[in-house]
Chain A
Amino acid sequence: MKVRSLTITGGRLVLPGGVRPGGLRCVDGFITSVGDVAPQDGDEVVDARGALVAPGLVDYGTFAIDKPAFHFGGITRAALMPDQSPPLDHPARVRFAAQSGKPDFWVHPLAAASVGLAGEQMAELALMRDAGARGVATGRRWIADSGAMLRLLQYAAMLDMVVVAHAEDGGLAGNAVATDGDIATRLGLPSAPAEAEALAIARDIALAGLAGARLHFRQVTTRAGLALVRDAKARGLAVTAGVTPAHFMLSDLATKDFRTFARLSPPLRSEADRQAVIAGIGDGTIDVIASGHDPRGAEDKRLPFADAAPGMAGAETLLPCVLTLVRDGVIGLERAFDLLARMPAQLLGVPAGELRVGAEADVALIDPEKPWIVDSGRMAAAAGNTPFDRQPVQGRVLALWKGGVRAAS
């Protein structure tokens, strides 16, 4: 397919080294020049009028392919968790998922680590890799058997696949839907100590060290868990960490009215842990911020808290939530897009996530100040289960290109 060349002028480029005025030109779906650009005859010319010109976001760890929501949120690629129905534990399903968003949205499936995500029998990782899987994930569960986890890490290391782990010790977490604390006790919700996360992280780091594997914790949400990741990085281990905005925007206070939109996995933590997550983002312990996008309708959410499915529709609020960290001075703009695009693209091993010559022309035009109010009743997502309902936020995507083609939205 012949793509009309695109020139964006008059913007503020978000580059790894900082933000500076300029534009870019894209030919045949790739970025061909960055900085001072001049449109050529026949180009589609877009005047950014001072808006941010940023890489399309790469969302590392979503539970659904929900194109309208992703496009609203400026997301051009997503790593799809294997927790599908049925799970992504078979090469054919991986191949299908990898094609499912094209052309204007690219899905990078993460292969299920075990058959049926049951944590027992290892799935066909090499076949799934060759069918398009860009990593291996344990899903929303912990692999309880340490021997099985070690063998998984060794095998994945041989295949050069990143292992994406869920950090909650299953024995401690049990059927908990909340974190031990005042709120869970008053509400009478089954709860588990926050230490369930650190226990799981400590074991998996030890095993990853043994195996020489690359290990990514999709969500690290506690002070103790972050300390372990920080330490592992200092020791030179190939360990990375992610988080979703829920855990730096909200604490367990958000569950106090039994609001199932705040029923998440792992559950919301204490205010002290929320502050630790913000610090972890600021000091570089956290590498990736993802949406964890998981739209759930009334049949999954209009239930008693403990019976409701975990998960939030997060694609639309990902960017504005991260921009609050910029406004609060926790991180700079360029680091925001490291967390949202460059690092996750690196984890996936795809030539995207930054505005450089030769990269795919996944580009978002963003007004970082534009105010709007999150409204669960009027979302682009397949369902409006956002814990940020009625919250005023800032930052909106004005236009989005995937491979140089304007994404429908």
Chain B
Amino acid sequence: MTIELPHRARYPAGALAFPHRGLLGIAQLQTHEILFLLDEAEQWVALNRRPAKHSDQLAGLTIINAFFENSTRTLLSFEIAGKRLGADVVNMHAAQSSVKKGETLIDTAMTLNAMRADAIVIRHGSSGAVRLIADRVACPVLNAGDGQHEHPTQALLDALALRHALREAGRASSDGMVNGLVVTICGDIRHSRVARSNILCLQALGAVVRVCAPPALMPAEITQMGVEVFHHFDAALDGAEVVMMLRLQNERMDGQFIPSPREYRHLYGLTPERLARAAPGALVMHPGPMNRGVEIDSTVADLAGRSLITAQVEMGVAIRMACLEVLTRRARQVEGWA
């Protein structure tokens, strides 16, 4: 059973709309496939705003959240998404057990596969780890963050939150694109999978993406990804319509990258004064967890009508519901997808 949605007419019929077995990264997606997932998520945004937030579309399916790295919000978001769709959701906190790497990763994949999971959501601290597992299991795999590589559902939920905010401001385009929108991503770009996925996703949707960080936190040759590179925050903010702040990923740093959090705030903290340098009404985003008073001031983070931070969390559940629902269509033998 599927709900008929008006946007369906815009995409190829059946599985051609999203011909992927899993969701490993934004890099594998075409623009229309990104738009498809965003459009699919709208029904779940609506459902999640109702008192009875339940669908039984995935009833009987087992979804395993295998998190090899600590996570609170992403894990919770995937868990809620699975449960609202009626699936049986099991969380595996591999980060807390003593087996974290080695052949155990493959062993874990084979174990999960043998348990006949219908979808596996994986977070792992090493770039490429999710793909390694995906190659060895029969069910769809969703990347919930692999090292410094990609975090595709974060980029999708950011795009959805942005779309809703633009819609409320009367600036949304009917085709779902954000052509010419100037987005500045500021923070630890080097160690950020969120930055990489967002660069790819926002560019696919037509945005102009700027990245801003001190040189040590900027990845080499990042210009080859088609972004504008800034080291001075004020210049990066000039004309920016969206400011996306990232935290310092201290746990991934090998050596000292900045002198102190205080000094970092001095150069890159998003204060109300700094925000005033951006375009009028510029929107503020942050994937969380925030370090209030370091990369973002509380007054900015809580700025009603401008800060999308709680909306991002809300959209996260809807996007993950969409991804789980779409990726299990084949197993559920949905017409046109089986």
Contacts and interface: CB of A to CB of B under 8 A. Distances in A.
Given A302-B103, A306-B147, A191 B220 contact: yes
Interface residues of B, number: 28
A304 B219 contact: no
A263 to B, nearest CB: 10
Interface in A136-184: 174-175, 180-182, 184
A187 B149 contact: yes
Contacts of B224: 182, 185
A184 B222 CA distance: 10
B220 A258 contact: no
B196 interface: yes
B76 interface: no
Interface in A188-230: 188-191, 193
Contacts of B129: 304, 307
Contacts of B127: 187-189, 258, 304-306
A328 interface: no
Contacts of B124: 304
A298 interface: yes
B27 A186 contact: yes
A322 B309 CA distance: 57
B16 interface: no
Interface string A306-333: 1100000000000000000000000000
B225 A306 contact: no
Given A258-B131, A299-B102, A307-B101, A188 B220 contact: no
Q: Is the interface of A mostly helix, strand, loop or mixed?
A: loop
Contacts of B27: 186
Interface in A265-316: 298-299, 302-307
B188 interface: no
B102 A188 contact: no
Contacts of A302: 103, 106, 132
Interface residues of A, number: 24
Contacts of A190: 148, 254
Contacts of A303: 101-103, 105, 126, 132
B57 to A, nearest CB: 33
B221 interface: yes
A196 to B, nearest CB: 12
Nearest to A302: B106
10 contacts: A184-B219, A185-B196, A188-B146, A189-B147, A191-B220, A299-B103, A303-B102, A303-B103, A303-B132, A305-B128
Interface of A: 174-175, 180-182, 184-191, 193, 257-258, 298-299, 302-307
Interface of B: 27, 101-103, 105-106, 124, 126-129, 131-132, 146-150, 193, 196, 219-222, 224-225, 254-255
Q: Which 9 A-B pairs have the closest CB atoms?
A: A304-B126, A258-B128, A188-B148, A180-B220, A188-B149, A304-B129, A185-B219, A188-B127, A182-B224
Given A185-B221, A307-B101, 15 more contacts: A182-B221, A185-B196, A185-B219, A185-B222, A188-B149, A188-B196, A189-B127, A189-B128, A189-B147, A298-B103, A303-B103, A304-B101, A304-B128, A304-B146, A305-B128
